[in-house]
């Protein structure tokens, strides 16, 4: 019987190391509602453990708490309107990696970071606060200048990788990336790549690392110097502060990510935002309970809007839905849409976690975002993925490879392709069978993901930054880190041996020639 109690015993072990009430400064300035879902769960977990949390963020905590101090970044920066240089977010489907980095992520990171620094309450806090903090908790997502708080308060750092694995995290944590089998997060490759794919993956990964080092991080460095320049003594470089991060809490978990090497400070806690389902609103409950032939849930997440779908795509989708026996629950931001089929219920907001838990939901139509993908797998609902940008293509390729999803390329969505995809998922039982298997793996953990995240935050506090987790590779110059000096020595020795051997052969041949002449 012991194996059944093993998770409980491990959880008790984690709970035994209850940290004293620590003071934590949480800095989450990136204005994404979906990212905040994961962060909100972590902050609530820390508050439940008795810690005092001061947060600089865009959104309010999901509950009130006496130990919580909120410094709001207001108004919220509309980065989709101001930073993303496209006419429609659906245009991101076909942009290049260079455009994704330069015209989307880097500009968005710089502008949202600067917006936070220009808020009066944030400026006053940076200039005047003399508190003590035991830990800086920050988001590992294009907001690096705020790591300077760790220098201000002489506190260790834990970051939250809301985006999951980023290849730039390897060197940051003292680890070499293996481009041979670890795909870049913006490429639709799996871990088993062809030779041309490995060449492209290596080129893209090195290109991003170069851009980040010589173009993007200097911009974050400049903002850090500008806003923390009043501190006494020389300020550390933002890149050096990154290399002092003790733990990264990664929004990933098997089998939704490919297996790869990790250093001890890279902790996978994907799915920690998923909670026990709550009762649905009466109209939703009645609608789904009456779906005798099953139901379909459709959502493109918090950033993409179904109401922005091109008219021809919207009409094609509605034409497929109209004759179906299944009922469709659709997160659709314009509730005044006309000519809606009777089997379709739309609302501008949906309790996604609770809907996916309903037993009548048979298919989840999704853009392939990380949080939604995790929720779909946790609830074991097969998916129709229509990825648009960033890691959504990779997430859905992984799902297709696992046999629990069908993927459609957005420009190719037609009435014919959309109907085919739904019929595949609704009528072929292998998709549900594969999803049940993957869901079991995803939920099979020694302890709940949130408990593990809170444990490692407290671990870093207890051990004053936990230097025992830090890789010695961080102290090496990049030439030594990449073993280029060793390879240079080996090549040099081989060249020297070759030259000596050639010299000896020439001498021997010369002597042999002279000997023949004398004879």
Is residue 109 within 8 A of residue 142, CB to CB? The reply is yes
The whole-angstrom separation of Cα 55 and Cα 96 is 35
**pLDDT tops 80 at residue 515:** no
The model's confidence at residue 76, banded by pLDDT at 50, 70 and 90, is: very high
What contacts 364, CB < 8 A, 6 or more positions away?
A: 296, 297, 299, 356, 372, 376, 381, 382, 383, 384
Q: Calculate mean pLDDT across residues 91-120.
A: 89
Beta strands in 50-99, from DSSP E residues, in sequence order:
52-57, 68-72
What's the token pair of residue 72? Answer: 């709001």
Q: What is the pLDDT of residues 293-340, one digit of tens each?
A: 999 999 998 888 898 899 999 999 999 999 999 999 999 998 888 889
304 strand-pairing partners:
none
Q: Calculate mean pLDDT across residues 66-84.
A: 89
Q: What is the pLDDT of residues 335-386, one digit of tens each?
A: 888 889 999 999 999 999 999 999 999 999 999 999 999 999 999 999 999 9
Find out whether the peptide bond into 514 is cis, omega within 30 degrees of 0: no
Lowest model confidence (mean pLDDT) among 14-18, 80-84, 250-254, 300-304: 14-18
Q: What is the pLDDT of residues 470-511, one digit of tens each?
A: 999 888 888 888 888 999 999 999 999 999 999 999 888 887
Q: Which residue has the tokens 């865009």?
A: 58
What is the structure's pLDDT at 16? 45
Q: Which residue has the tokens 């936990």?
A: 466
The model's confidence at residue 185, banded by pLDDT at 50, 70 and 90, is: confident
Query: Beta strand 344-347 with 405-407: parallel, antiparallel or unpaired?
Result: unpaired
The whole-angstrom separation of Cα 88 and Cα 298 is 20
The whole-angstrom separation of Cα 55 and Cα 42 is 12
Among 47, 450, 394, residue whose Cα is nearest residue 270: 450
Convert 246-295 into a string of H (helix), E (strand) and C (coil). EEEEECCCCCCCCCCCCCCCEEECCCCCCCCCCCCCHHHHHHHHCCCCCE
Lowest model confidence (mean pLDDT) among 9-18, 186-195, 365-374: 9-18
The model's confidence at residue 164, banded by pLDDT at 50, 70 and 90, is: confident
Q: Calculate mean pLDDT across residues 258-283.
A: 93
**pLDDT tops 70 at residue 258:** yes
Own/partner pairs for 430-436, CB < 8 Å, 24+ apart?
430/403, 431/382, 431/403, 431/404, 431/405, 431/406, 432/362, 432/380, 432/382, 432/404, 434/382, 434/402, 434/403, 434/404, 435/377, 435/380, 435/381, 435/382, 435/404, 436/380
Query: How many residues does the structure list for the chain?
Result: 519
Query: Beta strand 135-139 with 361-366: parallel, antiparallel or unpaired?
Result: unpaired
**pLDDT tops 80 at residue 28:** yes
DSSP state letter for 104: I
Lowest model confidence (mean pLDDT) among 6-10, 125-129, 174-178: 6-10
The model's confidence at residue 233, banded by pLDDT at 50, 70 and 90, is: confident
Q: pTM of the predicted model, to two decimals?
A: 0.89
What contacts 231, CB < 8 A, 6 or more positions away?
A: 151, 152
Q: What is the pLDDT of residues 203-226, one digit of tens each?
A: 999 999 999 999 999 999 999 999
354 strand-pairing partners:
none
| Number of other residues whose CB lies within 10 A of the CB of residue 412 | 10
What is the structure's pLDDT at 40? 97
Is residue 511 within 8 A of residue 503, CB to CB? The reply is no
């Amino acid at each position: 019987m012991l194996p059944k109690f093993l998770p409980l015993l491990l959880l008790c072990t984690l709970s035994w190391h209850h940290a004293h009430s620590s003071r934590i400064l949480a800095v989450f300035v990136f204005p994404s509602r979906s990212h905040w879902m994961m962060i909100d769960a972590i902050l609530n977990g820390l508050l439940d453990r008795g810690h005092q949390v001061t947060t600089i963020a865009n959104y309010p905590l999901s509950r009130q708490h006496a130990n919580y101090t909120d410094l709001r970044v207001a108004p919220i920066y509309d980065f989709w309107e101001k930073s993303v240089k496209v006419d429609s977010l659906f245009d991101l489907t076909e942009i290049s990696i260079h455009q994704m980095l330069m015209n989307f992520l880097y500009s968005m990171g710089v502008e949202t970071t600067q917006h936070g620094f220009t808020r009066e309450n944030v400026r006053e806090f940076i200039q005047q606060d003399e508190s003590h903090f035991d830990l800086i908790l920050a988001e590992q997502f294009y907001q690096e200048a705020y790591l300077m708080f760790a220098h201000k308060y002489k506190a260790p750092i834990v970051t939250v990788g809301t985006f999951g694995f980023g290849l730039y995290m390897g060197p940051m944590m003292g680890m070499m990336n293996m481009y041979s089998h670890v795909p870049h997060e913006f490429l639709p490759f799996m871990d088993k790549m062809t030779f041309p794919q490995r060449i492209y993956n290596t080129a893209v990964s090195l290109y991003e690392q170069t851009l980040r080092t010589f173009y993007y991080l200097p911009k974050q460095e400049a903002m850090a110097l500008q806003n923390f320049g009043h501190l006494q003594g020389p300020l550390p470089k933002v890149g050096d502060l990154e290399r002092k991060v003790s733990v990264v809490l990664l929004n990933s978990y098997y089998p939704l990510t490919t297996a790869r090497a990790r250093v001890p400070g890279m902790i996978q806690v994907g799915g920690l935002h998923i909670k026990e389902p709550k009762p649905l609103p009466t109209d939703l409950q009645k609608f789904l309970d009456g779906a005798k032939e099953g139901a379909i849930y459709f959502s493109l997440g918090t950033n993409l809007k179904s109401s922005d779908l091109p008219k021809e795509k919207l009409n094609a989708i509605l034409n497929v839905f109209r004759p179906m026996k299944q009922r469709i629950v659709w997160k659709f931001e314009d509730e005044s849409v006309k000519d809606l089929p009777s089997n379709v219920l739309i609302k501008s907001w949906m309790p996604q976690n609770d809907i996916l838990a309903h037993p009548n939901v048979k298919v989840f139509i999704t853009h392939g975002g990380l949080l939604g993908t995790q929720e779909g797998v946790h609830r074991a609902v097969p998916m129709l993925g229509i990825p648009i940008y960033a890691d959504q293509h990779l997430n859905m390729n992984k799902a297709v490879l696992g046999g629990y999803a069908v993927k459609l390329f957005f420009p190719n969505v037609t009435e014919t392709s959309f109907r085919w995809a739904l019929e595949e998922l609704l009528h072929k039982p292998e998709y549900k069978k594969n999803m049940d298997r993957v869901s079991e793996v995803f939920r099979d953990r020694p302890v709940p993901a949130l408990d593990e995240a809170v444990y490692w935050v407290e671990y870093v506090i207890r051990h004053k930054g936990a230097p025992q987790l830090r890789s010695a590779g961080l102290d090496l110059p990049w030439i030594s880190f990449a073993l280029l000096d060793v390879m240079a020595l080996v090549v040099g020795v081989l060249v020297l041996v070759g030259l000596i051997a050639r010299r000896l052969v020439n001498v021997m041949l010369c002597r042999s020639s002279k000997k023949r002449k004398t004879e």
